[in-house]
Amino acid sequence: MRKLLSLVVPVYYEQEVILQFLSETKTVLDQLDIDYEYVFVDDGSKDKTVEIISEQAKSNPKIKLVVFSYNHGKAAAVTAAIANAKGDYLLYMDPDLQDPPIEIPRFLEEIEKGYDLVWGIRSEKKDTFLNTLFSKIFWGSLNKFTGLDIPKGIAVMRIFNRSFADEFLKYNEANRFIEGIFINISKNWKTIEISQRERFAGKTKFNFRKKMQLAFDAIFDFSELPLKMAVRIGVVISILGFIALFVLLFLKFFIIDFESGWPSIIASIITGFGLQLFFLGIVSLYVGRIYKEVKRRPNYSIRNKININE
Ligand code: UDP
Ligand code: MG
């Protein structure tokens, strides 16, 4: 029996690229000995994205669409796409064609060798200087912070098998750092280098602020290092404080009987106070996340589904 490949594709204000995406992927997929479906999740776009996909879906049952009520973020959109995909293999790609569809056959070839996951790695990066620099810092510091072993230069395009997808869906945490979850699921993965193109049309949705937020989220979701750091610095400062205290007492009683000055006292109070607030802040960030997790709210709300019947 022919295997089914699901293309899981989050879309958010992508009206300029959808048709091109559909035609380029069709050209590639029709040549393969495999059945396929598209699982689009619209993450609350207010342009013509939903209209265009729905129109195509009328004449093509391979096109499935989940429409979110409003924007929930890319991680939620990817999750919903995976949850609605029926494939034996699932290929996650963006519709902007930065990772080109001509690479799909290579992904299939690799996954059929029995890996759970095959990630694309960008051989060359067709991106702005700032974006490239940011990615380097982001992934580098992330791996350091979290102890995760996420490969350098990963692309969006990646393929995984059914059991991997099922495992992924068991992760129902509210704070979702997708790459971290992926790497947590299985160690049986490999990377392949793929070519890159410019974004076909439209604009990136990730401005600097959003990217910083992502980096921050990832670190707090996958690492307790900030907490441990707080403890370590606290210990060091306490030890220094004790030493200073003894030295001062010793000086005062045995060497010189100096007057204690207020500037030094104010300085140490302010420093101590500042540090306490800083660490309280770190703890609060974790508490906030715990709060979000224990509420167990759904990760997204769906307005409607097209060509998907359960
Ligand atoms: N995306 C989404 N929700 C968002 C932002 C982005 O589903 O809130 C989707 C977007 O449609 C695209 C993918 O996430 O398919 C990656 O976005 P983009 O190409 O803008 O990011 P970049 O490739 O520049 O990092
Ligand atoms: Mg992109």
Contact yes or no for 39/6 (Cβ under 8 A): yes
Residue spans of the domains in the chain: they are 4-128+149-205, 225-294
CA atoms 113, 115, 117, 119: torsion sign: negative
State the ligand closest to the CA atom of 204.
1
Q: Amino acid identity of 28?
A: V
State the ligand closest to the CA atom of 14.
1
Q: Is 41 helix (H, G, I), strand (E, B) or coil?
A: strand
Pocket test for ligand 1, best of 72, 78, 94 (most atoms within 8 A of CB): 94
Scanning the chain, the segments in alpha helix (DSSP H) are: 18-29, 49-59, 74-84, 104-111, 129-146, 162-170, 178-185, 208-222, 225-250, 262-294
Is residue 44 lining ligand 1, measured as CB closer than 6 Å? no
Ligand 2 centre and the CA of 108: distance in Å?
22
State the ligand closest to the CA atom of 17.
1
How many angstroms separate the CA atoms of 25 and 18, rounded? 11
Give Dmax over CA atoms of the chain in angstroms. Answer: 94
How many angstroms separate the CA atoms of 6 and 39, rounded? 7
Buried b (16+ CB within 10 A) or exposed e, 275-298: eeeebeeeeeeeeebeeeeeeeee
Q: Whose CA is nearest to atom 23 of ligand 1?
A: 204
How many angstroms separate the CA atoms of 176 and 75, rounded? 6
Ligand 1 centre and the CA of 243: distance in Å?
53
Contact yes or no for 111/127 (Cβ under 8 A): no
**Residue 50, number of CB atoms within 10 A of its CB:** 22
Measured N-to-C along each axis, helices 208-222 and 225-250 cross at an angle, to the nearest 10 degrees, of 80
What is the third-level CATH fold of 4-128+149-205? Spore Coat Polysaccharide Biosynthesis Protein SpsA; Chain A (3.90.550)
Pocket test for ligand 1, best of 138, 178, 205 (most atoms within 8 A of CB): 205
Of 162, 161, 141, give the one whose Cα is nearest residue 152: 141
pLDDT digits (tens, 9 = 90+) for 17-42: 999 999 999 999 999 999 999 999 99
Ligand 1 centre and the CA of 241: distance in Å?
49
Total residues found in the chain within this entry: 310
Q: Amino acid identity of 252?
A: K
Rg of the chain over Cα atoms, rounded to whole angstroms, equals 25
Is residue 7 lining ligand 1, measured as CB closer than 6 Å? no
Tokens at residue 247, please? 């030295």
How many angstroms separate the CA atoms of 234 and 241, rounded? 10
How many angstroms separate the CA atoms of 264 and 279, rounded? 23
Ligand 1 centre and the CA of 293: distance in Å?
24
Is residue 42 lining ligand 1, measured as CB closer than 6 Å? no
- Tens digits of pLDDT across the chain (310 residues): 899 999 999 999 999 999 999 999 999 999 999 999 999 999 999 999 999 999 999 999 999 999 999 999 999 999 999 999 999 999 999 999 999 999 999 999 999 999 999 999 987 666 677 777 877 888 888 888 888 888 888 899 999 999 999 999 999 899 889 999 999 999 999 999 999 888 877 888 887 788 888 888 888 888 888 888 889 998 898 899 888 888 888 888 888 777 767 778 888 888 888 889 899 999 999 999 999 999 999 999 999 999 998 7
Contact yes or no for 75/176 (Cβ under 8 A): yes
Tokens at residue 167, please? 């495992």
Contact yes or no for 85/98 (Cβ under 8 A): no
Alpha carbon 136 to its chain's center = 15
How many angstroms separate the CA atoms of 285 and 279, rounded? 10
Atom of ligand 1 nearest to the CA of 202: 20
